[in-house]
Each structure stands twice: as structure tokens, then as C-alpha cells.
Amino acid sequence: MPHVTDTPPAAVQTDLAGLETALDDAIPPRTIDRNLLIGTWNVRAFGGLTEKWVADDDDSPKRDLESLHVIAAIIRRFDVVAIQETRGKLKALRHTMKLLGRNWGLVLTDVTRGSKGNGERLGFLYDRRTVQPSGLAGELVVPKEQLEHKPIAPDALTEQFARTPYAVSFRAGDQTFILVTLHVLYGDRVSERTPELRAIAEWLDEWARDVNAWGHNIVALGDFNIDRRGDERYEAFTSTGLTVPEDLHDVPRTIFADPDDSDEKFYDQIAWFTEDGDRPALSLAYRRSGSFDFRDVALARRGLGRRSLSWRISDHFPLWTEFDIRDDERE
């Protein structure tokens, strides 16, 4: 049986070389003490693994060793990346960590129980050479009193988050920041997502205004299950001042995206607070953002359809944002 750290077959190496070239073109390089690249990626059903370089038609799961090399190559482009939809079974994640090597760390929640939790975990992978945890980690929980005293309204949260958002603080160079990752309830109707989105926005706003909080560089990122910019879900998400960088508004989020479709989904987001009265703004110096469309370069020689590719890699594209973390006094 082949192992994930074995030298890949020649055909796989050719695919991976093409992927690296595409990544070079799409994502800026990481430079220690100069920039910070933060990513977020919903990796579809990230759990099991078939330990073959190429899974057969009757294999389950479809994710194989070549697929895992693709996933690791993309993750390696970031200093820290939030991962959604990691499942209770950690085989694929553990093998990914072996590919990334000893310089990479992992922080992860336990499995969210219950049908709405979908057996998922939330977590972060980070390169220890450029980013280190700075001490804070916790899940965002709505106090019972807040749920009980909410006014009865269609957009009022009446129960705990389906998957509690996960916050972890990190340090890169002289900068400290908190990443809050989440995977919002999809629900049977789109209206079911609004209460969670509004409650998360209110929670983060209150935290950012708390002078005794761990830190004020708060970045929210993950799968928010927002249909499109300007709809009810987007307005709930941005209701307290969370701001999505302008250059993320026009990038595709999903593997099923149609460039000519004006109704493209805005599921995945990266956002933070800007200057607004008594709430501290993000002090990280913003550069640019984007997504990475791997459809034409991941597993290219196999000629897979989008659905098949989604089970091997993901149905979501990774999003990323770049910050400048240089110390001006050293320039």
C-alpha cells in the first residue's frame, strides 16, 4: 500500500507541477516578517481517505493520495488557514499534516454533536515558522439569558449556534490577531441562516468594543452560507460593521460557479471591523484578497467533472487575504 509521503508517480508529479505554477500566478508569496497570508477553506467532508494514488470508481471515499497532495499544496501557500467541515474521522487531516511536515501546527475543536452539527469540527492549520498561537482559544457561546430575553422576531436567535464559532489568537511578527472561524447553519430554508448571522455579528461587535478583551484585531472567516451580496443574510452579517474587502466581492466561491451567473453564491467570506466611533479598527495593514480556482489544474489529467472533483478536493474554493506586517521603524 502506498504512503502519502512516498514519492508520487510521474503522472502525479506532472499534475502537481502544473498546480504549483498556477498557485504562483494566483497567490502572492509568503515573506517572513513582511507579509501575512490568511486563508479560509471549506474542504468538503474532510474525513476519510482511500490510500491509493488514484481511487477506483468503486472506492469510498473518493479522496485519494493525489487529492491530498493537492490540498496540502494549497494550504502550504498560507501562514494560517481556517478549515471548515473537518469530520470526526481525522484520517485525511492527519495525513495532510504528515505532508505539511513538522513546521506545521494544528488547533481543532471536538466534534459538534447533533444533526445540525453534521459531525463537523472547526480548526486552524498554521506554519510555526511564521505564526504562533498567542494564548487565547475558545468557542463563541450565546448566554442563556440573551436567548431567553430576545424579542420574538423572525430574525431573532432562539437557540445556540448549530456549530459554535471557534476563536484562536495568533502572533505574526509584532502583530497579534484573533481569527474567528465558523460554518453557519445551512437549514431547510435560507431564512433559517439569518438569526445565526445576526447573532454572530452582534457577538463580535460586543467583543471588539470590550477594552478588556484579549485583542482587537478580530478577523471573521469561514463558510457563512450567504447567497449573494445585498441579500438578507449579507445584511445581517454586516449589520454591526463587519466589512468584506472590496476585491473579494467579485471572486468565485464554489466549484460550481458560472462566470456568467449574476446569482453566484457568497458562501465563504473574510471580514473585519473598520474605523467606526468607539470600536477599534483592525490595525493590520491590508494589501489584497482573492480566491483560488483549482478546477483546471487539480487532478488535470483525469478529466473529472465538477461533482467528482468536489468529493476529491472540495466544492469550495479557498479564499485568502494578505496583510503587510512590516515594522515601519525597521524599513
Contacts of residue 277, Cβ cutoff 8 Å, sequence gap at least 6: none
- Strand, coil or helix: 311: helix
Residue 25 clears pLDDT 50, i.e. is over it? yes
CA dist 292 → 34, 115, 245 (Å): 22, 31, 16
pLDDT for the residue 330: 41
Residue 147 clears pLDDT 70, i.e. is over it? no
Residue 191 clears pLDDT 70, i.e. is over it? no
What is the distance between the alpha carbons of residues 197 and 256, in angstroms, rounded to a whole number?
A: 24
Least Cα distance to 81 among 68, 92, 71, 94 occurs for 71
Pair 19, 302: CB distance under 8 Å? no
Secondary structure element (H or E) that encloses residue 124, with its range: strand 120-127
Q: Residue 230: what are its φ and ψ, rounded to 5°?
A: 95, -10
Pairing of strands 35-46, 80-87: parallel
What is the distance between the alpha carbons of residues 229 and 218, in angstroms, rounded to a whole number?
A: 22
Q: Residues 53-86: pLDDT tens digits? A: 999 989 999 999 999 999 999 999 999 999 999 9
Pairing of strands 218-223, 175-183: parallel
What proportions of the chain, in percent to the nearest 5, are helix, strand and coil? Answer: 25, 25, 45
pLDDT for the residue 12: 95
Residue 188 clears pLDDT 80, i.e. is over it? no
Region 260-269 average pLDDT: 72
Q: Residues 95-113: pLDDT tens digits? A: 999 999 999 999 999 876 6
What is the distance between the alpha carbons of residues 27 and 167, in angstroms, rounded to a whole number?
A: 25
Pair 73, 23: CB distance under 8 Å? yes
Cell numbers standing for residue 219: 478577523
Kindly report the length of the chain: 331
Domains of the chain: 10-326 (3.60.10.10)
pLDDT for the residue 91: 97
Pair 294, 74: CB distance under 8 Å? yes
Burial label, 51 (beta-carbon count in 10 A; 0-12, 13-18, 19+): middle
In the sheet that 242-243 helps form, which strands lie side by side, from edge to edge? Answer: 132-139, 166-172, 175-183, 218-223, 268-273, 242-243
Cell numbers standing for residue 24: 504562483
pTM (2 d.p.)? 0.91
By mean pLDDT, which of 153-167, 179-193, 225-239 is the weakest?
A: 153-167
Asked whether the CA dihedral 318, 19, 263, 310 is positive or negative, the reply is negative
- Strand, coil or helix: 286: strand
Q: Using 50, 70 and 90 to split pLDDT, how confident is the model at 331?
A: very low
Pair 234, 253: CB distance under 8 Å? no
* Higher per-residue pLDDT: 43 or 140: 43
Pair 282, 218: CB distance under 8 Å? yes
Q: Residues 267-313: pLDDT tens digits? A: 899 999 987 656 778 889 999 999 999 999 999 889 899 999 999 99
Q: Can the peptide bond before residue 9 be classed as cis, meaning omega within 30 degrees of 0?
A: no
Residue found by looking up cell 505554477 in the block: 21
Cell numbers standing for residue 141: 457561546
Percent of the chain clearing pLDDT 70 (strictly above)? 84
